[in-house]
Structure 1
Amino acid sequence: MDFTNPLVYGVPCFLGLILLELSYSKHRKEERSQKLYNWKDLGASLTMGIGSAVLAPLTKTIAAIVLFNYVYEIFNPLVDGVRTNIMGYESFGYAWYIWIICQLLDDFSYYWFHRQNHNVRFLWAAHIVHHSSDNFNLGTAVRNGWFTILYKPFFYMWIVAIGFPPEMLVVCLGIEALWQFQLHSVYIPKLGFIEKFMNTHTMHQVHHAQNFEYMDKNHGGFLNVFDKMFGTWKELDENIEIKYGVTHAPNSYNPLVILTHEYKDIWNDMKKSSNWYHKFMYAFAAPGWSHDGSSLTIKQQRKLLQTQSAKS
C-alpha cells in the first residue's frame, strides 16, 4: 500500500506560516515582537531548511526503500504468502488502531533520538544547528542540520523489525515533523488540560532555552509523557526571562560555519590530550565533558550545585 509523506504538503505551508508570523510580529508594537525575527538569522535558517529539503528526499528514499524495507523483509518474511514476523505472529496491517500504535512508537523513538542528540557530543554537533539561533520563531523550526538525517533512521528501524509496514512509519515520521514545526512559536499560551500529556509551545520554548535550569529538558515529540517518565520534563516558569540559543554559539550567519563549528570544536578539544580515551570522550561523551575538569556537562554542573547547596 502506498502513502504520501505529509511533508510533501507541509513544506509550502511552512513557508506561508513563517511569512504570516513574520508579518504579524512586525505589526505588533511590543519590543519582543519587533525583535522576534532578525533578517540575517532568518536567511541562515531558510538556507539550512532549503538544504535539508534538497537532501531529505535522497536520504529518506535510502531510509525508506533501502534500510526500512530491508529490515522489514529480514524480520518479516513471507510464509505461505502471509507476512509473518520471525517471532511467529502475523505482521501488522493497516487497521486504525495499528496506525495509532505506530505513531506512539514513533514518538517514543523520537524522544530517545532527540535526547541522545543532546547527550552525545558527536550527535550534538549535527543537532546544534537547530539550536544555534538566539531567536525562537517558525523560521527557527526549519533551521535543521544536514547531517542529522544520515543517522536518524537507525533510531526507528526497530519499529519495522517488529512488523509495522515501512510506509506507515514514514507517514508517522512526517506527522511528527509537522507537529514539531508548529511548536516554534511564542504566540501560543499554555493550553490548559492539553499540557497534561502533549508537548506544547511553552514546553518547547523551555527546550530551546540556554537558561541553566532549562537545559536538556523537554525532548518529546507530540507527547510529554516520556519526558515525565524519564525525568527530563520541565514546565515553563513565566517569571523567568528566557534566553534562547546555545552557550557556545557559532557567532556567524554563514551556513557552512553554522553546520560545522561544533565539529571543529570537538577536533580542537581532542587535541588537548594525547590519551585516546580522552579523545573518545571528547567526541562521544555529553557536551561539556573535559578530561581536566576545565568544563563540565550539565549533569555534572547540577550535581556540583546540589553538593554545594547541601554543604551550605
Structure 2
Amino acid sequence: MNLITYAIPFFLISILAELALDRWKGWGVYRLNDTLGNLSTGILSRILGLTYKSLFLVIYIPLYQLLQPYYQAMGFDWSMSNGWHLLIAVIAYDFCYYWKHRICHEINVFWAEHLVHHQSEDYNLSTALRQSSGGLQLDWIFYLPLLFIGLPAELVIVAGAIDLIYQFWVHTQKIPKARWMEWLFITPSNHRVHHAQNKVYVDKNYGGILILWDRLFGTYQEELEHEPCIYGVRKALNTFDPLAANLQHLKRMAQDAWYTRNWWDKFTLWFRPTGYRPADAEAAMPVHSTDLTHFQRFDPHIRQARRIYALLQHLCYSAATLVLLWYYESLDFPQLLSVVVLLVFSLVINGRILDGHRLVKYLEPLRIALLIGLLPLLNAQFVPLFVAYIAISALMWWWLAITDKEDKVAVVSD
C-alpha cells in the first residue's frame, strides 16, 4: 500500500465537494460522462499496475547496489526520517519530472502514454485522476540521474508520490491566480495553461510542484484574461472508453508505420516530434485537428436512465477497485489477473454505454454472464453481495432493453 492509495479517499471526497459546489452554484464544470471517463481511466491505471513489476525498480535497485562504493566514497547517507533529506529528494525528483514531462510532449512515443492525461475536454479535480496505465514503462529513464546523488529507491518513490499528490489540487478552474505563488509553484492558474489546447498555451508549464523550472528553461506561459482555456487535445478522443484512451496515439502510430511505404519512417516515426506523420500515411488516413473557433465537447445524447445505470455501475467498480487494492496480495497471479481483466472489460463497456455505442446491448449481458465465473474466486463473505449485484444488474439492464424498444415503437392512433 503506497501513499497514493492512501490518498485516494481524500481525492474522491474533494471531487465530491467540488461537484456539489458545481451543482449548487451552476458552474457547469462537471459532466457525468466526462467525469466517469476520467475516473475510469484512473481506475484502469491503478489495477493494471498490480499485474506487472515496475521497470524502474527492476533497473534502479541493481544500479543503486552496484554504485555503493561510489556512495561510500562520496559520503552519501540519505535518511527517510530526515525532513531536509526528503525535501531535497522532492526537489531533485521534480527537476527530473520537468524533463520527463517536457519530453512526453515533444516525442511521439512518449506522448502516446502521456496523452491520456490531456484528453478530457473538461477541467476539474477528476481530471487529476485521469492517468495513463503506463504500459510502455518509459518513465524510469528520466529518473536515473538521481543515482548520481545516491537517492535510494524508497526515497525516490516517496518523493514521486508527494509530487503526484501535490498536483491533484491544481486541476480546478475555480481557484484564481495565487499572486506570489505563480512565481515559484505550480498553481491552478498556470496548470490550466498546461491543459489548454489554444496555440498560445500548447507545450507550456511542465513542472510538477515548481514552476521555477519552466521560468528557467523558457517554457513558462501565464494564463491570459483575453484567452480563455479550451481543454482537451487537438486530435479528439471522442469516446469514454478508458482502454481506447490509452491506445489512441499508439494505434495511430502503428497504422502509420504499417501504411507508409518509407522504411525509414516505419522505424523512426515513433521517435519523431509529437504529431509527426509520414506524408503518404497522412494522405491515406487524414486525421483532422479540432476547430477551436467552433469548439464543441464530445457529449453524446443518451437516455437519462442509461446515464444513471452507468453511474451506478461505476460506483460498484470503484468499490471493487478499493477492495482489490487492499486485498490483492492475498490473491495468486491467475486470480488477480482474472479479476483485473473482468474489471477492465467492465470499464470499457461502461464507457461505451456513455458513448451510446450500438454493441453495448450485446456486450453488457455478456459481462453480467461472465461475472458468474468470478464467484469461485471470491471470499465466502463476499458471495451473497456479489450474487445480489449480478441479479440487480441483470434486472436493470433487462428493464432498459425493454423500455428502449418501447421508445422505438411508433404509436399508431385510430
Shorter-chain TM band: 0.7 to 0.9
- The structure, 1 or 2, with the larger RCO (C-alpha pairs under 8 Å, 6+ apart) is 1
Rounded Cα–Cα distance in structure 1 between residues aligned with 2:3 and 2:22: 28
Match of 1:16, as an amino acid?
I
**2:102 aligned with 1:90:** no
**2:141 aligned with 1:144:** no
Give the number of equivalent residue pairs: 280
Rounded Cα–Cα distance in structure 2 between residues aligned with 1:59 and 1:227: 33
Match of 1:76?
A: 68
My pick for the range that moved more, 211-220 or 276-285, is 276-285
Alignment of structure 1 residues 1-312 onto 2, 5 Å: 5-29=2-26, 33-34=27-28, 36-56=29-49, 63-64=56-57, 66-77=58-69, 84-85=70-71, 88-94=73-79, 95-147=82-134, 150-292=137-279
- List alignment gaps of at least 5 residues for structure 1: 78-83, 296-312
Contact 1:207–1:218 under 8 Å retained in 2:
yes
Contact 1:198–1:225 under 8 Å retained in 2:
yes
1:153-211 Cα offsets, whole Å, 9 max, x none, are 23213313431122111111010011111110111111111111111111110000000
Contact 1:75–1:162 under 8 Å retained in 2:
no
Q: TM-score, normalised by structure 2?
A: 0.63
My pick for the range that moved more, 53-62 or 245-254, is 53-62
Give the deviation of 1:92 after TM superposition.
2.6
Distance 1:114 1:102, change over 3 A: same
Rounded Cα–Cα distance in structure 2 between residues aligned with 1:46 and 1:146: 12
Distance 1:116 1:62, change over 3 A: closer
Give the deviation of 1:256 after TM superposition.
2.1
Give the deviation of 1:62 after TM superposition.
5.6
What secondary structure, in the 3-state scheme, does the structure 1 residue paired with 2:113 have?
A: helix
Give the deviation of 1:57 after TM superposition.
5.0
What secondary structure, in the 3-state scheme, does the structure 2 residue paired with 1:85 have?
A: helix
Match of 1:85, as an amino acid?
Y
Contact 1:76–1:161 under 8 Å retained in 2:
no
Give the deviation of 1:28 after TM superposition.
0.9
Match of 1:117, as an amino acid?
C
Rounded Cα–Cα distance in structure 2 between residues aligned with 1:170 and 1:92: 17
Rounded Cα–Cα distance in structure 1 between residues aligned with 2:52 and 2:278: 36
> Which structure has the larger Rg?
2
CA RMSD of aligned residues (A): 2.2
- List alignment gaps of at least 5 residues for structure 2: 284-414
Distance 1:90 1:175, change over 3 A: same
1:88-142 Cα offsets, whole Å, 9 max, x none, are 3122322433222211110011001111111111111111111111011111111
Give the deviation of 1:282 after TM superposition.
2.3
Contact 2:171–2:192 under 8 Å retained in 1:
yes
Distance 1:8 1:257, change over 3 A: closer
Contact 1:107–1:176 under 8 Å retained in 2:
yes
Match of 1:6, as an amino acid?
L
Contact 1:44–1:254 under 8 Å retained in 2:
yes
